[in-house]
Structure 1
Amino acid sequence: MTKGILVNYDYCTGCHSCEVACKKELDLPKGEFGIKVEEVGPFQYANRPGLEGTWEWTYLPVITQACDMCASRTAEGKMPMCVQHCQAWCMYYGEAEELVKKMDGKTRWALLTVAE
């Protein structure tokens, strides 16, 4: 079964705690990341019905090729460091099929997996 990390990115605050925890766990040098928080925005909607005049500024953690989902930690039944240290509690770890069931259709989600 494929393991994954589910992110409810409507609630990600862009605090970078996941990045810091991951870099420390994987002992990555400056400029390298196992997970990287990307920023989209800010931008304002002008002509989208229902969104006129609203602003969007979104953060989305992205898994890089260096990510191994903290294989040594998860083999011991622990969470990946990024999930454990998420300050917004918007990241979940588990079987991809089970994580999909958490998606409620009311907020924006991203399911992240790594190649096996």
Structure 2
Amino acid sequence: MAKKIGVLVELDYCVGCSACQLACQDYYQLPVTETYMRCFLGKPDVVDGRHEMFMSPYAYRLDKCANCLEKEEGNAPCAAICISKALHVGELEEMKQLADQTDGHLALYR
């Protein structure tokens, strides 16, 4: 049975730079118009009198993440390049445990 993969994003730290998306494209040698991960940027909202933007990378082809993790011995290029260390990729149970130990706004994709 294939391992279940999880992608955990610490939303308070993601800056929306799209480096993860580019690392994924580069790893799989995809054309610029294709990727297995996208960086979602929401419309700014006013929170406590300040404008805040919702940003989150999301992987929609986790089968590709599983392939990548296996080949790279657990070091996903998208997570390795993340400048704010907001992106974590690994086995789903490990990502759930990490989410339980992490404060703040999180997104867990599985």
TM > 0.5 between the two? yes
C-alpha distance 76-54 of structure 1, shift in aligned 2 (>3 A): closer
Give the TM-score normalised by structure 1: 0.78
Deviation at residue 15 of structure 1 after TM alignment:
1.1
Q: Which amino acid aligns with 2:65?
A: M
Q: Which amino acid aligns with 1:59?
A: M
Matched-pair contact (CA < 8 Å) for 2:74–2:90: no
Deviation at residue 34 of structure 1 after TM alignment:
1.1
Kindly indicate whether residue 12 of structure 2 is the aligned counterpart of residue 16 of structure 1: no
Q: Which amino acid aligns with 1:82?
A: C
Point out 4+ residue stretches in structure 1 off by more than 3 angstroms. Answer: none
Q: How far, CA to CA, are the matches of 2:54 and 2:63 in structure 1? A: 22
Deviation at residue 54 of structure 1 after TM alignment:
3.0
> Which of 98, 107, 110 lines up with 1:110 in the alignment?
107
Give the number of equivalent residue pairs. 107
Q: How far, CA to CA, are the matches of 2:26 and 2:83 in structure 1? A: 16
The unaligned stretches of length 5 or more in structure 2 are: none
| Aligned-residue RMSD, C-alpha | 2.2
3-state SS, counterpart of residue 22 of structure 1: helix
Question: More helix by proportion, 1 or 2?
Answer: 2
Deviation at residue 36 of structure 1 after TM alignment:
0.5
C-alpha distance 77-65 of structure 1, shift in aligned 2 (>3 A): closer
**Pairing of 1:23-62 with structure 2 (within 5 A):** 23-45=25-47, 51=48, 53-62=49-58
Bigger-Rg structure (1/2): 1
The percentage of counterpart residues that share the same residue type is: 25
3-state SS, counterpart of residue 97 of structure 1: helix
